[in-house]
Chains A and B, each alone.
Chain A
Amino acid sequence: MSKHHVTTTINGEPVEFLCETQQTMLDTLRDVLGLTGSKEGCASGDCGACTIIVDGKIVCSCLMLGVEAEGKSVTTIEGIAQGDRLHPVQQKFLEHAALQCGFCTPGFIVAAKALLDENPNPTETEARYWLAGNLCRCTGYDKIIRAVMDAAAEMRGEAVR
C-alpha cells in the first residue's frame, strides 16, 4: 500500500507529510518531520515522555497513528515557547532545577502547560494526579511539582516566592 498523505497543523503551521499506517504519531514527528523533542520512553503509553496536545487534549503520541493527525491541530514541545521567550512552565523548570537527565522533561512540560490552560489554579493534589502519567526516574517529582505550582502562580499574576 502506498503511503498516506496527511494534511495537519503542527505548532500553528500547516504541515503535509507522508507516513505508513504502522508509523505512530511519535515516529512521524521524530523520523519524518525531524521534531525530536518528543521522546520515546516506553512506547506503550505508560511514561508520558511522548506527550503532545491534539485538539486541546494531551495524548501519548506513541499511542496514536501518524495518519490520525489528518485535519487535527497538534502542539509539541517545540511549540511551547514563543520564539525566544520560554513558557513560564519552562522557565520555572530551569529555576527550580526540575530536571536531571531531561528525558522526561518535554512530556512533563507539555502536560503541565495543558493542565494550566485548563485549570489555572490547580491544587498540588490536582497537579500530581494530572501528571501521574509522566514518569521521572531522577527528580523524585517534588521539584517538578514545585515548578508547576510556581508557574501557575506566576501565570495568575500572583506574587512569586
Chain B
Amino acid sequence: MPTLNYAAPSSVDEAVKLLAGSAGLAKVLSGGTDLLVQMRSGRLRPELIVDTKKIPGIIGIREEGGAFVVGAATPGAEVEAHAGMNRAWPGVVEALDLIGSQQIQGRCSLAGNLCNASPAADSVPAIFAAGAIAVVVGSKGRREVPVEQIPASPGRTTLAKDEFILEFKFPPRTPRSADAYLRFIPRTEMDIAVVGCGINVTLDEKGVCTAARVAVGAVAPTVLLVKDAADALVGHSLDEETLKKLDAAARAACKPINDKRGTIEYRTKVAGVLARRVAAIAFDRAMGKAQGKTH
C-alpha cells in the first residue's frame, strides 16, 4: 500500500512547491469534509495531503475598503458568526448555513465547497451571484479569477496541479444591494440540493433593478451563472411580468439529470419557482424590508 504523506506548510511558497513536486496525486486539505470521505470510500487515493490551514490569512475574515476578504479555509461557522458578512452578504451566509450539520460547518470551507466542484454545492450559486473573486496562488504567481471560472465539470476544476485558492474577495456593497439563496430539498435540513438558486441585486430608489446576478445549482454539470435571468431583472421592478421572464430564463438554462432526488422536468420547474422566490427575498432585503434568515 502506498504511503500517504502529510505536510502543513506555513507559507504559500512552501505549499506550492509541495504541490508542484508531488509525483502522484496531491490534494489540498481545508476542512476535509469532502476529502476525507472520498479517501475513505477509495474514490481518491492521494499520495500527499497539503494542509493549508497553517498559511497566514487562509482562515479569517477582514475588511478592505468596504470589501470583505474571506480566507479560503475559513470554517462556515466562522463566516456565519461574522456580523459584517451577515449584513453585506446574507445570501452567502444562508447558503453556507445549509451545508451539512453544525459539525460539518465547524470545518467546511468556501474553497472546499467550490473546488469539490459538485453541481449541487450550496455556497457556490451564492458566491457566483455575489461576484466573488478567487485569489489563486501557484508556481506562476498570483492571479484573480471570477469564481464562476473555477469549476470545470463534476469533481474537476480549472486550477493547475500546483494552484490553490488563498482567499475570496467580495466586492464592496453599494446602497440598496442584497443577495439571497434558497435550495429545495424534500425536508428542511441535512440533504443535498434538488435545485439551489442564488441571486444578488442592486436597486434604485424606486426599487428598479440596476444590476443583477443569478446562479442556479444542481441543474447542470456545474453550477451555472445565468445571464439571461439577470437580464430579465435589470431595468425592472419585481412585477409579475418580470418574474415570469426570470422564471423562464432560469428554466431555459437548466440541463439537469434524472436521479433519485428529482426528474429533469421537476428540477427544471423548481429552478424557475426558486428563482422567483429568491428574487423576492433579495429585492426585499435590498429595500431594507427584511433582514432575517429564510429558514
* Pairing of A with B: yes
For B149, list chain A residues within 8 Å (CB). Answer: none
Looking at the assembled complex, report how far the CB atom of B166 sits from the nearest CB atom of chain A, in whole angstroms: 19
Contact of A132 among B41, B53, B107, B190 (CB under 8 A): B190
A22 touches B37 (CB 8 A): no
Q: Chain B interface secondary structure, helix, strand, loop or mixed?
A: mixed
B51 touches A45 (CB 8 A): no
For B6, list chain A residues within 8 Å (CB). Answer: 4, 21, 65, 67
Looking at the assembled complex, report how far the CB atom of A4 sits from the nearest CB atom of chain B, in whole angstroms: 7
B5 touches A133 (CB 8 A): no
- Contact A54 to B106, CB < 8 A, known contacts A1-B5, A22-B4, A45-B100: yes
Looking at the assembled complex, report how far the CB atom of A56 sits from the nearest CB atom of chain B, in whole angstroms: 9
For B41, list chain A residues within 8 Å (CB). Answer: 44
For A10, list chain B residues within 8 Å (CB). Answer: none
B49 touches A45 (CB 8 A): no
B102 touches A132 (CB 8 A): yes
For A151, list chain B residues within 8 Å (CB). Answer: none
Docked complex Cα distance between A64 and B103 (Å): 11
Docked complex Cα distance between A64 and B104 (Å): 11
B4 touches A133 (CB 8 A): no
For B75, list chain A residues within 8 Å (CB). Answer: 57
Interface residues on B, range: 20 to 34
Question: Does B189 reach chain A (CB closer than 8 Å)?
Answer: yes
Total interface residues on A, using CB and 8 Å? 32
A24 touches B106 (CB 8 A): no
Which of B4, B41, B102, B190 has the most CB atoms of chain A within a 10 A radius of its CB?
Answer: B102
For B29, list chain A residues within 8 Å (CB). Answer: 65
B106 touches A59 (CB 8 A): yes
B104 touches A45 (CB 8 A): yes
A129 touches B189 (CB 8 A): yes
Question: Does B40 reach chain A (CB closer than 8 Å)?
Answer: yes
* A3-30 interface with B by 8 A CB criterion: 4, 20-22, 24
Question: Does A51 reach chain B (CB closer than 8 Å)?
Answer: yes
4 tightest A-B CB contacts, nearest first: A133-B101, A57-B106, A21-B6, A59-B106
Q: What residues make up the interface of B, taking CB atoms closer than 8 Å to A?
A: 3-6, 8, 29, 31-33, 36-37, 39-41, 49, 51, 53, 75, 77, 100-104, 106-107, 189-190
Beyond A1-B3, A129-B102, 12 extra complex contacts between A and B, CB < 8 Å: A21-B5, A45-B36, A45-B101, A48-B101, A57-B107, A58-B103, A60-B104, A64-B36, A67-B6, A129-B189, A131-B102, A133-B102
